[in-house]
Structure 1
């Protein structure tokens, strides 16, 4: 195997020398180096397809240094989806269609597409909230049936743009996080006012509508369970870790970027549920997160890791809230789980190492 065949490029959105998750990528680089794998970071917009090179950054001698690299043999896609992703997508698509490159996994395209895949699983479908593409009639239908609704961007992260709409005596109460991830609350009296507000809020982006689920503790703190599943050094799916993310009582989401905190799962459940209910919840979480990556991969194509967000309502029902193919791993630092923290960082390199060995039938 040539030196270039043992390269792993971390593809992400760079603005000059600025890119997020530098600490994580530094650890990936150092762990890869121990396995004889050269790891570097690059933007899909900085690829020269004619010379098959790319401008990027490599961590060495204690700092990130810019360089020009041959296109990597393997690509770890960390190019986060969001409003700016359209500026990167044509370049990402071209790289994905290059037969000489192997992506560890292909990023999920959006919440609606994921929902449409998972709904065909007999195991997963009962745990998916009823979901529709947002139109005013779909919103009104959800409010008429359930009394309250959640709208969320099809392509969004960190709880940004997630809004709860509830029928109340004075009309409709609207609360959530705006495009700047700041909490807000409004009351409008008439359906016309609601329609105007929702239309203005969602202009330029596609949203989904779902019933609002009571995903909070008895004292009103919103929470969810983040389960990180990853492929290991044998190419098999494995659960790396689980953590509960708890949001502020004033918020409707539990995202860490919105001011939430993380705690270990089992002690949290034991504080809020009786032993039999706790056992059933944990068994359900394990069953759903064991089934989901394999089922999703059949429809979507190759994946390398997933952050699966699980909701538990006040009756103890377990719901699949969201699936993210470019998950963060801060929660394991916050809950002081060094084993999960270590595996969350090293598994992508272990899986890349496995693929490299598979390509040449062993070194």
Structure 2
């Protein structure tokens, strides 16, 4: 096996020598080194396809060092989709289309595309909230049918731009998080006022509209369950960990970037649901987590790790909220689950080694 075939390149959005998740990539580098795999970080924009080399960064001697590397045969995509991603997307796609390169997994494109794939499964379909592309008319239909609605950006992250809309005696009440991820509330007089506000808020972005679900505790604290699933060293899907993320009462989302905290799933369910309901929730979670990764992969193409966000309403009904192909790991550090935290970091290297052995 050649040197580049024993290398794992992590692609991410770099600004000079600055890039996010350095602590995580440092751990991946050290784990890879023990396995005989060279791990380094680079921007997709820095690839020279003529020489098949790339300028990137490797953690050595206690610091990140800039070097020129042969283009790796295996790539771990950590280019988060956001405002600057359009500058990277063509370069990522060129790497994906290179026959000599294998991606550990191909990133999911957006909430609407994921919904359209999952709704094809008769089993998963029952856990999906009614979902439509946002327009003012689709919002009106949802409000008419359910009384309250939520709109969320198709390409959004961290709960930014997620908004709840309720009918009120004066017209409508709008609450959620703005583009700066700050909570806000606003009253709109009639449909004209609501339409004018949402036109400015949505702008040219694409949103989804769904009924508002009571995904909160009895005292109004929003929460969801984050399940991290990854492929292991045998190429099989495995659950790395589960945790509950609790949000700020002023928010409608439980994202940790919005000031939330995390607790263990078992203790949370024991504190908030009776035993019979708890058993039903756990059974549904087990089925959902077993079914979703292989089904989504069969529709989408190769995946290797997913953050599955699951909502549980006040009646104990389970809902698929979001599926993320570039999941974070902070939640397992916050609940002091060392096994989940270690597995979340080691599995990408184990799976890369599996692919290298079976190439």
What is the TM-score normalised by the length of structure 1? 0.98
CA distance in 1, matches of 2:192, 2:47: 49
Aligned mates of 1:325, 1:28 — CA distance in 2: 18
Equivalent residue, structure 1, for 2:227: 227
RMSD of the alignment, in Å?
Answer: 0.6
Alignment partners' CA distance in 2, 1:66 and 1:219: 51
For 1:213, the equivalent position in structure 2 comes to 213
Q: How does 1:134-283 map to 2 (within 5 A)?
A: 134-283=134-283
Q: Which residue of 1 aligns with 2:45?
A: 45
Alignment of 1:104-123 (within 5 A): 104-123=104-123
Deviations 1:10-34 (A, max 9, x none): 1111111111111111000000000
SS in 1 for 2:123: coil
| Aligned-partner SS, 1:106 | coil
Query: What is the Cα deviation at residue 169 of structure 1?
Result: 1.0
Structure 1: tracts of 5 or more residues without a match: none
> Residue in 1 aligned with 2:75?
75
Alpha-carbon shift at residue 204 of structure 1 (Å): 2.0
Once residues 162 and 55 of structure 2 are traced to their aligned partners in structure 1, the CA distance between those partners, rounded to angstroms, is 36
Query: Structure 2 CA distance, aligned partners of 1:219 and 1:276?
Result: 21
Matches within 5 A, 1:304-315: 304-315=304-315
Indicate the residue corresponding to 1:29 in structure 2. 29
Q: Which ranges in structure 2 are unaligned for 5 or more consecutive residues?
A: none
Q: How far apart are residue 276 of structure 1 and its match?
A: 1.2
Deviation string 1:223-279 (CA, Å, 9 cap, x unpaired) is 000000000000000000000000011111000000000000000000001111111
Deviation sequence 1:158-217 (CA, Å, 0-9, x none): 000100011111110001111111111100111011111111111121000000000000
Give matches, 1:46-61, under 5 Å.
46-61=46-61
1:4 shift after superposition = 1.5
- 1:346 CA displacement: 0.5
Count matched residues. 359
Moved more, 59-68 or 321-330: 59-68
SS at match of 1:65: strand
SS of residue paired to 2:248: coil
Give the equivalent residue in structure 2 for 1:287: 287
- The CA deviation at 1:49 is 1.2
